[in-house]
Amino acid sequence: MFFLDRKSRIFVALIFLSFIILAVQLLRLQIVQREKYIEHSEKNRVRRVRLLPPRGIIYDRSGRVLVDNHPVYALSAIPYQCRNDDKILQFLSTVLHEPPSAIKQRFRTAENPFSPFKLCRNIDYSTLVLVEEHRMDLPGVEYEIEARRVYPSGIKAPHVFGYLGEITKEELKKRQPEGLMQGDLVGKKGLERMYDRDLRGSTGYDYVEVDAYGRKIKDLIAEGEKPPIRGRDFYLTMDATLQVQAESLFVDKRGGVVMLDVRDGGVLVLCSKPDFDPELFTTTLSAEAWQNLVNDPAKPLYDRMIQSLYPPGSTFKMIVAAAALETQDYDPNTTAICNGAAIFGGRVFNCWYGEGHGSLNLYDAFRVSCNVYFYHLSLGVRVNDWAECSRRFGFGSPTGIDLPGEEKGIVPDSVYLDHMFGRNGWNNGMMLNLGIGQGDLLVTPIQMAQFAMILANRGVYFPPHLVSKIHDPKQQRFFRQDIIRRAVSGISQQTFDTILDGMYRCVNEAGGTGARCRLHDVVVVGKTGTAQNPHGEDHAWFIGFAPYEEPEVAICVLVENGGGGGATAAPIAATMLRQYFSDAIKSDSIVKQAQAITP
């Protein structure tokens, strides 16, 4: 080397240095970082497979299955392995009936190109067989079993149960700690959304060995492998028989029924019509079908019982009566003359009965629902006193029912009216409309059902709820939902006595507007309402409870554009209550027979 010239020595030195660097790097790869690269090699050879658990089952109060699972197959592909393979793309194009370019474009939307990307749900048997036949030629293409929701009882109640849909990118960002992935199904509405984590269960993992082409060779037993844990089962307070009855009564109507067990707040019936078939969402919903649902003038996606706001009409007359009795020391025997109309401030305010009701007191005013009497009564009540009384009975706030999207309604007070009409733009004459449940006052049917429960229990109530108990399959035990007991403050028992007396007369005495809800063997009390609707025919209301002594069930019936509450809503309430007590008698008989033969 000493005999070489300077340039040659530099060249030899560089070659020697290069060999030293290669040797050091080889030493680092083979010895220093050996474990790291062995792990990477294993990851290329071993693939972790997600095992989705069956979703929890939903039952009614008697154990009847309302929402169950049916296994279906979904087709997936790993974008990294498939997006540039023309043979695989052509195969997928054939089975999916999409051009290869469209499939490649879908692959580009994958969050993780190395994880299975859902291409199609609920594939038919022939497609499954085709994929299985060509499995060795389709590295990266796989299928998995998913659970599709079915409704074996015939009750689909989409506003209660909700439906499942593919998780969106926004939801995925918020729910990353839950281990969700692109393509996973999550609850979108109703109970499916409210209790999604419990219903979904826990994902399991399996490990398989794959070859250089990504094709499965065999199952492996590896650290981290675990079975899926099925979702929790939910037992509702809902009565399937009553729900079917309610749905049958609203086949051609808009509105619905809410029935509550006044002893614990359990929701026996929650029927909102029109509705839709939740099974539409168990497969890929076309853009056209979705737009048809969204643009349907009947608004089937809207839960009228907890989301729609209506003026309550005469069913709200109990509130102004309570406010007068509590704040004005009003004597319910005070009489007024109804000649069919009253004049206040130069304006004519009509009674619904044009011929007039003559002389009557508060009890009779409830019985015949005389507007004129309540006009006089309302003018003696300050707006804020009326608003405070309304809030005491739960209006202006959500009931807290275990469903998403509940509206709170509107209870106008002086602050609200100042905002809407200006400080000098209104006066206490507003009470003429508010006192009979009109004006800017808006409520939901679930609030009205809760109101009926409060009246039934003379001030005691339980927030409406659908879930009674939950079964955890992992722990093999039941968890009962807590029942919260609340009481209305500032309302005396004497006031409740007066209101309930009037409601009793409304249903059970001659001339009562609620007479069509009268039952022969059970004493029903209630109040009808006919709410003016600026967009069409009046809305028909009925709220009440039964029996009068030792109440069991409260009910609210709303028929949009149904006209008179006594003519339209009251008969529906009667049918529902008759069904409830018929079933209760049968149930009691079965219990007594079982007790008689039990040693």
Phi and psi angles of residue 470, each rounded to the nearest 5 degrees, phi first: -130, 135
Q: Each residue of 471-503: b (16+ CB within 10 Å) or e?
A: beeeeeeeeebeeeeeebeebeeebbebbbbbb
Q: Which residues of the chain have pLDDT under 50?
A: 37-43, 589-599
| Closest alpha carbon to 47 in 114, 99, 144, 103 | 114
Phi and psi angles of residue 266, each rounded to the nearest 5 degrees, phi first: -65, 135
Quote the pLDDT of residue 583.
Answer: 72
Domain that holds residue 101: 48-231
In this structure, are 319 and 456 located in the same domain?
Answer: yes
Q: Residue 596: inside a domain, yes or no? A: no
Of 198, 231, 264, the domain-final residue:
231
Provide the CATH number for the domain around residue 322. 3.40.710.10
> Are 391 and 409 in contact, with CB atoms under 8 Å apart?
no
pTM check: above 0.75 = yes
Quote the pLDDT of residue 17.
Answer: 77
In this structure, are 380 and 442 located in the same domain?
Answer: yes
SS3 116: coil
Paired with 205 in beta bridges are 50, 226
In this structure, are 534 and 452 located in the same domain?
Answer: yes
CA distances from residue 142 to 44, 74, 82, 115 in whole angstroms, order as listed:
17, 9, 11, 11
In this structure, are 171 and 262 located in the same domain?
Answer: no
Q: Residue 15: inside a domain, yes or no? A: no
In this structure, are 311 and 218 located in the same domain?
Answer: no
In this structure, are 226 and 334 located in the same domain?
Answer: no
Report the distance separating Cα 386 and Cα 395, nearest Å: 11
User: DSSP assignment, residue 476?
Assistant: T
SS (H, E, C) 492-554: CHHHHHHHHHHHHHHHHCCCCCCHHHCCCCCCCEEEEEEECCCCCCCEEEEEEEECCCCCCEE
Q: Using CB atoms within 10 A of its CB, is residue 159 exposed (0-12), middle (13-18) or buried (19+)?
A: buried
> Are 136 and 101 in contact, with CB atoms under 8 Å apart?
no
Residues 6+ apart with CB under 8 A from 264: 237, 462, 483
| Closest alpha carbon to 313 in 92, 521, 6, 560 | 560
| Closest alpha carbon to 121 in 70, 61, 80, 156 | 70
Query: In this predicted model, what pLDDT tens digit does every residue of 347-378 receive, in sequence order?
Result: 999 999 999 999 999 999 999 999 999 999 99
In this structure, are 310 and 439 located in the same domain?
Answer: yes
Q: Residue 432: inside a domain, yes or no? A: yes
Quote the pLDDT of residue 4.
Answer: 60
Q: How far out from the chain centre does Cα 64 lie? A: 20
Provide the CATH number for the domain around residue 102. 3.90.1310.10
Structural domain total, the chain? 2
Quote the pLDDT of residue 143.
Answer: 83
In this structure, are 66 and 113 located in the same domain?
Answer: yes
Q: Residue 507: inside a domain, yes or no? A: yes
In this structure, are 182 and 263 located in the same domain?
Answer: no
Phi and psi angles of residue 368, each rounded to the nearest 5 degrees, phi first: -100, 0
Quote the pLDDT of residue 204.
Answer: 85
> Are 370 and 512 in contact, with CB atoms under 8 Å apart?
no
Residue 177 identity: P
Q: Residue 571: inside a domain, yes or no? A: yes
In this structure, are 390 and 440 located in the same domain?
Answer: yes
Q: Residue 357: inside a domain, yes or no? A: yes
Sign of the C-alpha dihedral, residues 247, 249, 251, 255?
Answer: negative
SS3 47: strand
In this structure, are 283 and 222 located in the same domain?
Answer: no
Q: Residue 535: inside a domain, yes or no? A: yes
Quote the pLDDT of residue 591.
Answer: 35
Token pair for 462: 């339980």
In this structure, are 546 and 420 located in the same domain?
Answer: yes
